[in-house]
Amino acid sequence: MFGAILMSFSLAIVLIGVVQSILMRNARVNLTEKVEYGKIIVDRAVENSLSALDGLSGNELFREALTKENEADLTSFSKALFKNYKDFENIAIV
């Protein structure tokens, strides 16, 4: 009688261990995939932001406003940058 009870408890413990190991492995895989996806999203946002800044730096009107320290024009360029490039807005907030 005692042996049967001990065997049933042992079986339950082994099954719980197997289920736990499967769940832990799945959680590890899912978290790894989420990290890789997040890295792709952040890399894309940074590349888009750098591209936007590169395009802005090549703009002759922006260069003139920057050298003359024309605050109104620089403000309008900043607004346009944040309005047209949502990735830049997200990067600037972080």
Closest CA to 86 of 39, 52, 57, 38: 52
Residues with pLDDT less than 70, the chain: 88-94
Q: How many domains does the chain have?
A: 1
For the entire predicted model, the pTM comes to 0.62
Distance (Å, rounded) from C-alpha 78 to C-alpha 56? Answer: 10
Q: How many residues does the chain have?
A: 94
Residue 94 pLDDT? 58
Residue 50 pLDDT? 83
CA atoms within 13 A on the CB side of 52: 21
Name the residue type at position 9. Answer: F
Distance (Å, rounded) from C-alpha 70 to C-alpha 7? Answer: 83
Distance (Å, rounded) from C-alpha 50 to C-alpha 71? Answer: 22
Residue 22 pLDDT? 98
Question: 51-71: per-residue pLDDT in tens?
Answer: 887 887 887 887 888 788 878
> Residue 37 is part of which domain span?
2-93
Residue 93 pLDDT? 62
